[in-house]
């Protein structure tokens, strides 16, 4: 099992798709397009912040349980990363301290369930890093209207706060081996850039004794 991690807009879905195709394995994707709460959250985070995080936590718990039952798979975001988003919403006041405590207790219960599964942890986390400017450019290019920052919606501050906490999250992550890839100067739709990325991942997999 390989899990991808990184900021909104850094390219996790694209990297996951291409890596799954090359490795001939299944990809599990973050539930975005059919998410009934996500666009409402961007319109009114104070009202929908807690509901969104519970929705994501439930879906990621389901995905990782399904993934752990298979021999080979890749997730474009996982339950291990989810608490960061809830923490950022708490810092911004979109989630109350009481709601945050409820969330953490639920997450702890879910992690105990995961620990009882035959496979205890991912084999590798790949963290996609990128500058704030690069990520904002990606968000603009993919054109989801509810993700675009305006003077009224405060999303720029949210993105900046989230981005500022990601490096610390990666440094603290200790559930599995991990690999950091800087994405600023890479376009993996170009074969030469994808070859560079895949070589880095292949070398790490070989180091860990994972078949590729």
Query: Is-catalytic flag, 33?
Result: no
CB of 97 closer than 8 Å to CB of 148 = no
> In the beta sheet, which residues pair with residue 182?
129
Under 8 Å CB-to-CB from 120, ≥6 apart: which residues? 114
User: Which residue, 50, 79, 76, 74, is CA-closest to 62?
Assistant: 79
Catalytic residue of the set 46, 76, 129, 172: 76
Cβ burial, residue 53 (10 Å; 0-12/13-18/19+): buried
User: Which residue, 142, 171, 188, 166, is CA-closest to 87?
Assistant: 166
Helix (H, G, I), strand (E, B) or coil at 28: strand
d(CA 139, CA 88): 19
User: Which residue, 210, 190, 203, is CA-closest to 11?
Assistant: 190
Catalytically annotated residues? 76
């Amino acid at each position: 099992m390989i899990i991808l991690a990184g900021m909104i807009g850094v390219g996790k879905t694209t990297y996951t798709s291409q890596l799954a195709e090359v490795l001939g394995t299944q990809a599990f994707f973050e539930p975005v397009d059919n998410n009934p709460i996500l666009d409402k959250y961007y319109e009114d985070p104070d009202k929908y912040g807690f509901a969104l995080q519970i929705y994501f936590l439930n879906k990621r718990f389901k995905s990782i349980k399904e993934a752990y039952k298979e021999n080979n798979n890749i997730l474009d975001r996982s339950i291990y990363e989810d608490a960061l988003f809830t923490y950022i919403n708490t810092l911004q006041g979109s989630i109350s301290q009481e709601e945050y405590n409820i969330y953490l207790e639920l997450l702890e219960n879910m992690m105990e369930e995961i620990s009882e599964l035959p496979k205890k942890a991912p084999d590798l986390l790949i963290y996609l890093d990128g500058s704030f400017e690069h990520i904002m450019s990606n968000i603009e290019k993919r054109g989801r209207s509810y993700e675009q920052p305006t003077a009224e919606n405060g999303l720029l501050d949210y993105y900046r706060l989230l981005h500022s906490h990601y490096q610390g999250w990666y440094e603290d992550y200790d559930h599995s081996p991990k690999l950091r890839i800087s994405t600023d100067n890479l376009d993996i739709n170009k074969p030469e850039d994808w070859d560079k990325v895949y070589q880095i991942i292949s070398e790490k997999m070989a180091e860990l004794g994972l078949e590729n």
